[in-house]
Every structure is written in structure tokens, then in C-alpha cells.
Amino acid sequence: MVKTSTILTFLILSTAQSQIDKEKKDFCNSLIIKQARESGFRSLNFSEKIQYHLDLRKCENKIFVKSVRKEVNDSQLASDSEKAKTFTGKSSSFAYCIILFITYLTLN
């Protein structure tokens, strides 16, 4: 009888503690949001991107959420535009060949 009451008490206290821990978790300052703000949204892998959106949705400070989304989107847009200035790789070589071929055909 004592064993079952001890086990039952332990289970009740552990579930109550886990619920308190879940309530205390600050979604606005999660590690994934910090990583997205520092390194950009593309630095996150697929599961982290999902967690990023969930953390932003669970955050209670909606003004903070808007500012974080704007900051991350603007920084990602800036880095994407800088990467788009260079036209390198296999696709660029193929595009140059096509442009030269079309130019050659139009001149002849």
C-alpha cells in the first residue's frame, strides 16, 4: 500500500512539474530564433524551420514576433541579393553557351 501511494505521488508530482516547466518556457527567446536572427533563415535545417515558425506562433509578444520576422526576412533578402549578383556554376556556363549559339545563328 505504501509503495503504490509513493509511486502515485511521484507520478502526480512529476507530471505537475513538467506542466509548470512547459508554461515557463519562453518561446520568444528560443535558441532557434536566436540562430535565425544571427545567421539567417536559410542556415536552419528543415526541422529547425518548422520549430522556428512554431516558436514564433507560441510567442505571446506579437510586436516582437513582427520585428523578428521583418529582421530575419530583410537580412535574408539582403544576403540573397548579394549572392544573386554573381552568375557562376554549371547553369551560368550553359547559359553563356546558349547565348553565344543564338548570337551565332542570328548573325549568320
Task: Output the CA angle 79-81-84, nearest 5 degrees.
Answer: 110
Confidence (pTM) = 0.57
List the domain boundaries for the chain: 27-107
What mean pLDDT is predicted for residues 18-30?
Answer: 66
Q: Is pLDDT at 26 greater than 60 in this prediction?
A: yes
CA 50 to chain centroid: 7
Q: Is pLDDT at 66 greater than 90 in this prediction?
A: yes
d(CA 5, CA 38): 50
d(CA 19, CA 42): 33
What mean pLDDT is predicted for residues 2-25?
Answer: 58
Q: Is pLDDT at 92 greater than 90 in this prediction?
A: no
**Portion of the chain with pLDDT greater than 70, in percent:** 74
Q: How confident is the model at residue 15 (pLDDT cuts 50, 70, 90)?
A: low
